[in-house]
Structure 1
Amino acid sequence: MNRIPLQREEPPTWDWAYARSLLPDLLEGLWITVQIAVLGMGIALVLGLALAIARRTRLKIISWPVGLVVEFIRSTPLLIQLFVIFYVLPNYGVRWSGFVCGVVGLGIHYACYASEAYRAGIESIARGQWEAATAINLSRRQQWTSVILPQAIPTSLPALGNYLVASFKDAPLASTITVFGVLGTAQSITGRTFRGLEPYTMAGLLFLAVSVPAAILARNLERRYGYERT
Structure 2
Amino acid sequence: MKRSSEIADTVVGTSSARNRDIASNRKIASNIDSLADSVASTNDAQAVNDSPGKIEAAKIASAEKYGDKLPLQRLEAMRKLAYERGWVRVKMQSSQDSDLFAQSDMKIGADVFVPSPGQEVGSGARASWRDPKPLSVMLRATVKERGWGSQLDVASVATRWPQLVGETVAANCVVESFDHDGVLILRARTVSWETQMRALAATLDQRLAQELGEGVVKEIIINGPHVRSWKHGRLSVKGRGPRDTYD
The TM tier, using the shorter chain, reads under 0.3
Q: Which has the higher strand share?
A: 2
Larger RCO of the pair (alpha carbons < 8 Å, separation 6+) = 1
Q: Which has the higher helix share?
A: 1
Q: TM-score, normalised by structure 1?
A: 0.26
**Which has the larger Rg?**
2
